[in-house]
Amino acid sequence: MIHIEKKKIVALIILASLCIISLSLFFIFNKKARFVFYFQHRDTGVLQVESRYLPKVKKGEKVNLLIDELLLGPMADRSLPLFPRNTRSLSTALVGKTLYVNLSSEALNILDEASTNKEGAALFRKNVFRNVRKIDIIQIYIDGSSIYENEGF
């Protein structure tokens, strides 16, 4: 009976050691950062939360990675992209705590299935503010014109 308990103790020690080693390796070699995105549900309009694990990049590249991922749209079938498909970022600049984003003219394409322009821009801002804390103001441009100068907004 004592012999069986020693085997159990040895097995538990080995199992605990493997768990500790596994967790240690996970934290040492984990090269991904968690981002949380919000997209509108296609049918109800309710916000859906989507988590993505993206590669860790230098601080200056984090905003560009975030914007590119947002423009790719949601992974869920029943969610709407923020802007029409094929919208891309022409340029981004972070000046102090203000982010300037210049989107391609495809963002004005209202024939594509996406959130409305105002809702898309509002969700874009919400997503950036949620994932990059150091930004206070976001200025969105489409083909060099402020979104408030475009008729679709």
pLDDT for 35 equals 92
- Considering the entire predicted model, what is its pTM? 0.75
pLDDT digits (tens, 9 = 90+) for 115-152: 777 888 899 999 999 999 899 999 999 988 888 755 54
Cα Rg, the chain, nearest whole Å:
22
**Helices 59-72/117-131 angle, 10° precision:** 150
Write out the H or E segment, with its range, that includes residue 14. Answer: helix 2-29
Q: Which residues of the chain have pLDDT under 50?
A: 152-153
